[in-house]
Structure 1
Amino acid sequence: MTALGAVFRPQLPPERLQAVVRLADGVGLEELWLWEDCFREGGISTAAAALAWSERVRVGVGLLPVPLRNVAVTAMEVAALHRMFPGRAIVGVGHGVQDWMGQVGARADSPLTLLREHLDALRALLRGERVTVGGRYVRLDDVALDWPPAGPVEVLAGAEGPRTLRLSGAAADGTVLTAATSPDGVRRAVRLVEEGRLAAGRGADEPHRVVAYLLTATGPDAPARLRAELVADGLESVPGLGVAGDAGAVAKAVRRLAEAGADTVVLQPTADEPDPEGFVRFTAEEVRPLVP
């Protein structure tokens, strides 16, 4: 079955999160995703609050930019979430927006090398291993978590370009694709992820989840809002991106992404969505019954 989620976008002030989380938990939303976008809201702090305010909804963070984070800190925070809220936290890491990384003096000369080193060290620490490594960016000297997660932890990587997609297949447990990825783009991404998995010798016993965002607008002004966001992002000429309409139209777009290889589809409202709580209810109560 295709998992279905929705995004709480950080264009909303953080004090709006509690009401959205409680509604999501109440209406049976499967996954609520948060973003660590510069310079809006922290991913781990909002995820911890969301998990504490809820009982069943899974909370995803997509993504934590690795240039901003020492891998030991990432591991401690992720491990704490998994121990306090077993099975409900989903964490992805990624390059971050390079202009933003430059603004804070954290831009790496080789984002790909940094992401690979961060993923390898993070996954090892979360497995409870003692890690010593002297990489180009990640350096650890006899580091182990006192409180590693009690069981296996899924670490996802955000990826767009071919090299990062192959890296995600080789070194992560799942891949997060942006809303700029059409169904054909999902198919290409899945192929590249699989190339990376095969090159790394990873087999069927190591599942790899693909998460795809779907830019979604509903309501009377949905087509105009969707088009405005695509234009603002320079994506209006890309075929097959986003969906505007009722639950039937949205479910059809979700199914297209699922058929292309997405295991989880996360509905991403437009930045000017007028009713975030209504969007979550729409996702759980109207779209979910139409998605296998």
Structure 2
Amino acid sequence: MTAADQGAAAAGGRVGIRIPACDRPDRLASVAARAEELGFDEVWVPDSQLLWRDVFSVLSVAALRTERIGLGTAVTNVATRHPSVVASAARTVAELAPGRFTLGLGVGNTSVAPIGLRSSTRAEMTERMAQVRALLAGDEWDYGEVRSRLRDPAPSVPIHLAASGPRNLRLAGAVADGVVLLSGVSPDILAAAAGQVRDGAREAGRDDDIPLTVSAFCEVTDDVTASARKLKPICASIAQNGGAPFLALAGVHLSVPDQVDEVYPDLLHAEDWDRAVKVAGRWVSDADALAFARTFCLIGTAEEIAKRLRETFEAGASGVFLQHVGSYDPPHDLIEAVGGDVLPRL
């Protein structure tokens, strides 16, 4: 066990890294292997068929190049992918990484929007997630007049649900093995979200000790103000997608149009990030960006980030996975900075 392994374990929570599927699977597997070497606990890969390579292909190669690090989707969906296809793909990765794979599911977002589909409804998520779970467990499922099952199932695959609003948080508590929270590391939001998850679990008659994994944008830096400016498109995107109440906790009050055609494909995943920062600056001031960074993100020195991570675990998170700014390059710098300077401090 490395010093970083020992530090993360001592902190009481798991520290992961988000790696977008932005390059060949073999190259991204090397990135995952480096994260493992430096002591990260988990690698999470997002799914969007037009923005990135196939998430399950990337995770399969990463499984073969690593030995202990957890691997997960953050997140795939059951809208563009039929639940039976998701179950088969999850089983395939789980076979290559026994006990290390987590299936993260969500409503679709960047998978559905670019092809003109809508996100899954709560009812659809409930039914399709039940189907995936049943197939992975080896149970039969009725497809109209046809009854089928998955050959060589993988019943040990945990299914985590991405959630943010109260209803979906309660749903996650009722039916999922864990929750992926995409709203940052604000202690107030974490406490409220954890409470909703526990309530959902109790209402369903389940154990309320549901793992809660939080995502947060992160940068190790001495210049928080400069780094915060780069977060303007992220802040604006949150406001676009119903996150105004979250931003208000930091004193950030924004009104952003539902669609910004000047940035492709959207503000959060802009191909030209400098342009996205400039466009988002119409609605997000430097002060807003700084408040957002300090409240929801992990931006600062290595010691400051280590302290915030401890506070995040104390607030109810069982894991945190870190994101760098940008969608089309691997997080090499973030892995080196956190693995070298932050994890040992935990």
Query: What's the TM-score once normalised by structure 2's chain length?
Result: 0.73
Q: Which residue of 2 aligns with 1:30?
A: 41
Q: Which residue of 1 aligns with 2:147?
A: 142
Whether 1:59 and 2:64 are equivalent positions in the alignment is no
Q: Which residue of 2 aligns with 1:219?
A: 221
Partners of 2:160 and 2:176 within 8 A in 1: yes
**Judging changes above 3 Å, is the alpha-carbon distance between structure 1 residues 103 and 232 closer, same or farther for their aligned structure 2 residues?**
closer
Give unmatched runs, 5+ long, in structure 2: 1-11, 237-246, 248-288
Give unmatched runs, 5+ long, in structure 1: 135-139
Whether 1:93 and 2:93 are equivalent positions in the alignment is no
Q: Which residue of 2 aligns with 1:137?
A: none
Q: How far is the alpha carbon of 1:225 from its aligned partner? A: 2.5
Q: Which residue of 1 aligns with 2:273?
A: none
Partners of 1:9 and 1:271 within 8 A in 2: no
Partners of 1:216 and 1:226 within 8 A in 2: no
Partners of 1:217 and 1:225 within 8 A in 2: yes
Q: Which residue of 2 aligns with 1:185?
A: 189
Whether 1:122 and 2:141 are equivalent positions in the alignment is no
Instruction: State the distance in 2 between where 1:81 and 1:20 align.
Output: 18
SS of structure 2 residue aligned to 1:20:
helix
Residues 236-292 of structure 1: per-residue CA shift (max 9 Å, x gap): 35561112222111111212221111000111122289983232133233222333x
Equivalent in 45, 57, 62 of residue 45 of structure 1: 57
Q: How far is the alpha carbon of 1:26 from its aligned partner? A: 2.3
Instruction: State the distance in 1 between where 2:108 and 2:147 align.
Output: 28
Partners of 1:226 and 1:243 within 8 A in 2: no
Structure with larger Rg: 2
Instruction: State the distance in 1 between where 2:38 and 2:113 align.
Output: 41
Q: Which residue of 1 aligns with 2:331?
A: 276
SS of structure 2 residue aligned to 1:240:
helix
Q: Which moved more, 1:153-162 or 1:31-40?
A: 31-40
Equivalent in 161, 165, 172 of residue 168 of structure 1: 172
Q: Which residue of 1 aligns with 2:158?
A: 154
Instruction: State the distance in 1 between where 2:142 and 2:328 align.
Output: 46
Q: Which amino acid aligns with 1:130?
A: E
Instruction: State the distance in 1 between where 2:114 and 2:34 align.
Output: 36
Instruction: State the distance in 2 between where 1:143 and 1:283 align.
Output: 46
Identity score, percent: 28
Q: How far is the alpha carbon of 1:19 from its aligned partner? A: 3.1
**Judging changes above 3 Å, is the alpha-carbon distance between structure 1 residues 223 and 8 closer, same or farther for their aligned structure 2 residues?**
farther
Q: How far is the alpha carbon of 1:3 from its aligned partner? A: 0.7
Instruction: State the distance in 2 between where 1:221 and 1:14 align.
Output: 33
SS of structure 2 residue aligned to 1:202:
coil
Partners of 1:130 and 1:142 within 8 A in 2: yes
Q: Which amino acid aligns with 2:187?
A: P
Equivalent in 204, 207, 210 of residue 208 of structure 1: 210
Q: Which residue of 2 aligns with 1:233?
A: 235
Q: Which amino acid aligns with 1:142?
A: R
Q: Which residue of 2 aligns with 1:3?
A: 14
Q: How far is the alpha carbon of 1:13 from its aligned partner? A: 3.3
SS of structure 2 residue aligned to 1:67:
coil
Instruction: State the distance in 1 between where 2:108 and 2:159 align.
Output: 16
Whether 1:198 and 2:202 are equivalent positions in the alignment is yes
Partners of 2:20 and 2:327 within 8 A in 1: no
Instruction: State the distance in 2 between where 1:60 and 1:19 align.
Output: 16
Q: How far is the alpha carbon of 1:95 from its aligned partner? A: 0.6
Instruction: State the distance in 1 between where 2:298 and 2:232 align.
Output: 11
Q: Runs ≥4 in structure 1, deviation > 6 angstroms? A: 272-275
Q: Which residue of 1 aligns with 2:299?
A: 244
Q: How far is the alpha carbon of 1:221 from its aligned partner? A: 5.0
CA RMSD in angstroms comes to 2.5
Q: How far is the alpha carbon of 1:211 from its aligned partner? A: 0.3
Q: Which amino acid aligns with 1:277?
A: H
SS of structure 2 residue aligned to 1:90:
strand
Whether 1:112 and 2:167 are equivalent positions in the alignment is no
Q: Which amino acid aligns with 2:227?
A: R
